[in-house]
Homo-oligomer: A and B are copies of this chain.
Amino acid sequence: MKKNIKLPEPQKELDFPLMRALENRRSIRKWKDTPLSEQELSNLLWAACGVTKEKYGKVKSKRTAPSACNSQEIRVYVLLASGAYLYNEENHELAGILKKDIREHIGTQKMMKSAPMGLVYVADLSRMTSPFLRSEEAKRFSAWVDTGYVSQNVYLYCAASNLSTVALALIDREKLRTLMGLEESEKIVLTQVVGHSLTPS
């Protein structure tokens, strides 16, 4: 039933300059209704929190985004027309978790009903096992900052690739977590919409 999507290799050789991506970064709530290609998904997800150095024995992989005590607690779920998926960074693939289109739940604003795809940033607090992150408050505090790290990578990749994007905090988190069947330890922090820009590049 649930299909995994093996993503093509990310195009790490793209030469769009960092400084120009910073200058172009914007929150944009308008997009075409065309789906992203698998190559675009691959690039976007690798930019978000992809592996930059593979794990070696007990040494964890390195990622494009830092995390508190290298907990790597932010999981990126992807909502597409074909269903909901979890981005598996180590295999660079999308693991199917739900064969149902729940994109309209990415946010509560009306325009979100037309979102061509959505990212759901979920903090898995059970991954935060460092003694420095013992309290619930320390865990949440760090997970929120870490979500900003991942989300900014998405903003910059979109700015470099003529994609519209906006991060959302107005979310019906209970509805969305129920639909997605999240574990108790998994907390929805933010969501982010991505679509092809209406403006020609």
Interface residues of A (CB under 8 A from B): 10-27, 43, 46-47, 50, 52, 62, 64-66, 68, 132, 141-142, 144-153, 155-157, 160, 167, 169-170, 189-190
B residues less than 8 Å from A170 (CB atoms): 132
B residues less than 8 Å from A146 (CB atoms): 148
- State whether B145 touches A151 (Cβ < 8 A): yes
Q: Could you say which of B145, B151, B160 contacts A189, with CB atoms under 8 Å apart?
A: B145
- State whether B16 touches A17 (Cβ < 8 A): yes
B residues less than 8 Å from A25 (CB atoms): 52, 64-66
Q: How far is the CA of A169 from the CA of B25 in the complex (A)?
A: 27
Given known contacts A26-B62, A64-B23, A18 and B157 CB-to-CB distance under 8 angstroms? yes
- State whether A22 touches B153 (Cβ < 8 A): yes
Nearest-neighbour CB distance to chain B for A194, whole angstroms, equals 14
